[in-house]
Amino acid sequence: MALAVDSGSTPVLYFYNCLLNETSIWLSWTMVMVWTLDALATSNFLHFEGTWYINFHMLLQLEQHPTHLN
């Protein structure tokens, strides 16, 4: 679907649209992974006892707040 805009702003809008779509896909897959890990960590079938899930969340926090490494 083409946007009716002048040629000067078309690359910017195209880049923004691609970035928005990529971010949405990435966030969706991240939420699916976290939800799956949550289900695995709380199930008695695999006996994870939540340790791997807790380590995963600690890594996420370090990625979001890298200043905690100092």
Q: What global pTM score does this model have? A: 0.34
Distance CA 24, CA 17 (A): 11
The 10s digit of each residue's pLDDT in 13-62 is 777 777 777 777 777 788 888 877 777 766 655 555 555 555 666 667 76
In the prediction, which pLDDT does 16 show? 72
In the prediction, which pLDDT does 5 show? 47
The DSSP-derived string for the chain is ------TTTHHHHHHHHHHHHHHHHHHHHHHHHHHHHHHHHH-TTTT-TTHHHHHHHHHHHHHH-GGGG-
